[in-house]
Structure 1
Amino acid sequence: MTTPVPDPVAAAGRAPAAGVLGVAVLGYSFMGKAHSNAWRNVNAFYPTLRVAQKVLVGRDAGHVAEAARQYGWEESGTDWRSVLERDDIHVVDICTPGHLHADMAVAALEAGKHVLVEKPLANSVAEAERMAAAAAAARAHGVRSMVGFNYRRVPALALARTMIADGRVGEVRQARVSYLQDWLADEHAPMTWRLRRETAGSGALGDLASHAVDQIRFLLGSPVDSVSATVTTFVGTRRGADGPERVSVDDAAWATLRTASGAVASLEVSRCATGRKNALQIEVYGSLGGLRFDLERLNELQFFDATLPGEVQGYSRILVTEDSHPYAGAWWPAGHTLGWDHTFTSQAADFLRAIGSGAPAAPDFEDGLDVQRVLHAVTDSAARAGATVHL
């Protein structure tokens, strides 16, 4: 006897027509484009619930209309609240600056919409707590929510997590995560919303360290217990529309994180690392082996097996493109590599599976809240000259 799959959309009072989920994306710039690409492609590669790209929302009517045409949306709009009143919208995907996340997500969840929010979850712990509470209340009615840490869908990193959980590197003792970019290395680079605390919440911390902290939690399977950190702003003033403007967020941060499992992780993030474009590098060292990953070679995972005889030890290269590897089987024959954009399509597929099956979505808003607490601890520690902050 086949057990019927619960319909959480219907349970939330928003039954889709002909089994198709209507999607709205709020925000049409960098992340809006990446998420639009995912919704356009998810049904072509993953056997999930069917989706329709209903509406793309942004503040500038002309720009969002052009983006909607380019990205394949049926229509565009400028009023995100009106989207929540529509019965043909079942999924709301939030890709706006961080200061808008909380109000949008809470309102969408209360309207019975499934909600995906691009990282970081919020600009503050208080906002993240409000969002997590709304998500928990909505979950009781079958409404799903997820935070967009897309690097969990890199096949090599998903494989690394499995290998660590299976004990292939033994007891994890230490890890190193660095995420370095250089788009602010030029002191003449102009002011943007990402450099204002009131819109971005933080600088490299929210932008880059949120990914790094999530990977530490994801790979090691353990929460962060304490933080000791320092942060800095290398260029304190940038050229704004009306003249020089003070930068109110961090350019770079360094931290030592201790996890509940006893592992120690070092963290380094910067948007002023000259010559680094999007360099996420991860190293994990255990009692029986080690793992290394570089986003610039994202189809590869390096594995050191210390259980082998010494004369044949050395890092081996695993090309993570086999059908049996996480996510890879949805795409091309073995050896045909994937790119950064594929992670967003896999992320959309995971969210649709959670909606369709009623299973928990991961990472959820509670995960996003935990990351936000670590970021706050980094800021708190830095303000206290690197004092250890316990979570």
Structure 2
Amino acid sequence: MTTTPLGIAMIGHAFMGAAHSQAWRVAPRFFDLPVHPVMSVLAGRDADRTRAAAERLGWADSTTDWKSVLDRDDVHVVDICTPGDTHAEIAVAALEAGKHVLCEKPMANSVDEAVAMAEAASRAAERGVRAMVGFSYRRVPALGLARDLVAQGRLGRIHHVRAQYLQDWIVDPAAPLSWRLDKDKAGSGALGDIGAHIVDATQFILGDTISEVMGTLVTFVPERPLATSHSGLSGTASDETGPVTVDDAALFLARFGSGALGSFEATRFANGRKNALRIEVNGSAGSLAFDFEDMNVLEFFDGTEDPAVSGFRRILVTEPQHPYVGAWWPAGHGLGYEHAFTHQAVDLVRAIAEGTDPTPTFADGLQVQRVLAAVEGSASSGTWQQV
């Protein structure tokens, strides 16, 4: 392992900040990297909380001024883990300062913001500065295997895609009004928060993009108690209430460029479902199915086999030849949620060292943002919308 340092500044230290910190700590200890990530500085709004988070998560320094990290010589990468309303400002400023950028999804709160970010990334790339969107589920080994099977033609011509992202963390109407339920900060609700993941994941698996959508958005609980403190995804509620300005659930149909049909559902009201990201793909020669709540397994049906003995095959995706798995444990020893973030960090570090664009690019993030906007437009107009 090289000792050449690659200084990281992370902005934001809540749920995603903890996941990204784990990734930066672990990546150089399990993967042979061309440069060595160094956790240089953590930026947050409150000095005491940011300092405490830096000590807990392993950052060498902390600051309440995110702009100050752009002037530091020991910072080469800016990792953005803040609410969506700040992504564009931070990302554009970092790229213009010559810093590589990793930005959490969804990339922005609007298409206009995403366009500005993609344009800034394109200009920066001419100077060797790289940018990547944090769609971490691409780095789940089972989904990497799914993409490989599709790319190899094992499913034949793709006919159908079904994708769901089901959670239940706000099914209780007394759950407090967190920033994720505020359109000004989050951009959208279930659609952007979790729906963006299944849009990107299905496009990644198919190597194809969504061209047209027809959708609807619903808010089941329009008013919630205000949060008095924040913990995890929600926080502690007060006696006062405020309006929910985002969707609680999103459903839409889609057509892909290849002609494949898709159905998508994203909800935070699926009682009993904690993090059920489910994808099924049906093709002329086979099918595959995945559920993140059993994330080390991919189900595969080979339609070319003898019908007398054919059926869905349960593949335990823990073999050394499976994507990313060879750096970890012996076969059969499963990986977890946090490993996808480590794989994300590994891919970004390698791309920076090799002078190549990491994926998903900001252009990819813009395309997802256009899909989200088209779904919102369809929900308003009641018509199919082009992406």
TM-score normalised to structure 1 length? 0.94
Paired position in structure 1 for 2:334: 337
Instruction: Read off the aligned partner of 1:359 and give its amino acid letter.
Output: T
Aligned length: 374
The amino acid across from 1:161 in the alignment is R
Corresponding position of 1:262: 259
User: How does 1:46-125 map onto structure 2 within 5 Å?
Assistant: 46-48=31-33, 49-125=35-111
* TM superposition shift of 1:384: 1.0
Stretch of structure 1 that moved more, 237-246 or 31-40: 237-246
Shift of 1:389: 0.4
In structure 1, C-alpha distance between the alignment counterparts of 2:87 and 2:79, rounded to whole Å: 10
d(CA) in 1 for partners of 2:52 and 2:384? 49
Any gaps of 5 or more consecutive residues in structure 2? 228-237
Partner Cα separation in structure 2 for residue 121 and residue 47 of structure 1: 29
- The question of 1:26 aligning with 2:11 is answered yes
Matches within 5 A, 1:121-200: 121-200=107-186
Which one-letter code corresponds to 1:220 in the other structure?
L
Deviations 1:92-111 (A, max 9, x none): 00000000000000000000
Contact 1:24 1:54 in 2 (8 A): yes
The answer on whether the counterparts of 2:202 and 2:279 sit within 8 Å (CA) in structure 1 is: no
1:45 to 20, 30, 47: 30
Matching of residue 389 in structure 1 with residue 385 in structure 2: yes
Q: In structure 2, what is the Cα distance between the partners aligned to 1:223 and 1:333?
A: 36
Gaps of 5+ in 1: 1-16
Secondary structure in structure 2 of the residue aligned to 1:265: strand
Structure 1 residue 235, shift from structure 2 partner: 0.2
Report the identity percentage: 55
2:180 and 2:316 mapped to 1: Cα distance? 35
Task: Report SS of the residue matched to 2:74.
Answer: coil
Task: Could you list the structure 1 runs, at least 4 aligned residues long, displaced by more than 4 angstroms after superposition.
Answer: none
What are the residue-to-residue correspondences of 1:189-268 with 2, within 5 Å? 189-241=175-227, 243-268=240-265
Contact preservation (8 Å) 2:167, 2:270: yes
- In 1: Cα distance, 2:31 partner to 2:354 partner: 15
* CA drift at 1:18: 6.3
Give the structure 1 partner of residue 291 of structure 2.
294
What are the superposed Cα offsets for residues 159-218 of structure 1, whole Å, 9 maximum, x if unpaired? Answer: 000100111011110010000100110001000100111100000011011001001211
SS at match of 1:158: helix
Distance 1:232 1:306 in 2: 38
Q: In the TM superposition, what whole-angstrom CA distance separates every residue of 1:88-133 from its partner, at most 9, and x where no partner exists? A: 1001000000000000000000000000001000000000000000
Cross-structure match for 1:8 = none
Q: CA deviation at 1:328?
A: 0.5
For 2:84, give the aligned amino acid.
G
Q: Normalised by the size of structure 2, how large is the TM-score? A: 0.95
Q: Distance in 2 between matches of 1:390 and 1:97?
A: 28
Please tell me the root mean square deviation across aligned C-alpha atoms, in Å. Answer: 1.0
Match of 1:3 in 2: none
Structure 1 counterpart of 2:233: none
The reply on whether 1:369 has 2:366 as its aligned counterpart is yes
SS in 2 for 1:341: helix
In the TM superposition, residue 70 of structure 1 has moved relative to its aligned partner by 0.7
For 1:118 and 1:341, locate their aligned partners in 2 and report how far apart those are by CA, in whole Å: 15
Partner-residue secondary structure (3-state), 2:379: helix
Structure 1 counterpart of 2:309, from 304, 308, 312: 312
Q: How many angstroms apart in 2 are the aligned matches of 1:180 and 1:373?
A: 22
For the 8 Å contact 1:289–1:303, the answer to whether it is kept is yes
Matched, 1:354 2:357: no
Cα distance in 1 between the residues matched to 2:58 and 2:271: 36
Using the TM superposition, give the Cα deviation of residue 261 of structure 1 relative to its aligned residue in structure 2, in angstroms: 0.5
Q: d(CA) in 2 for partners of 1:105 and 1:159?
A: 31
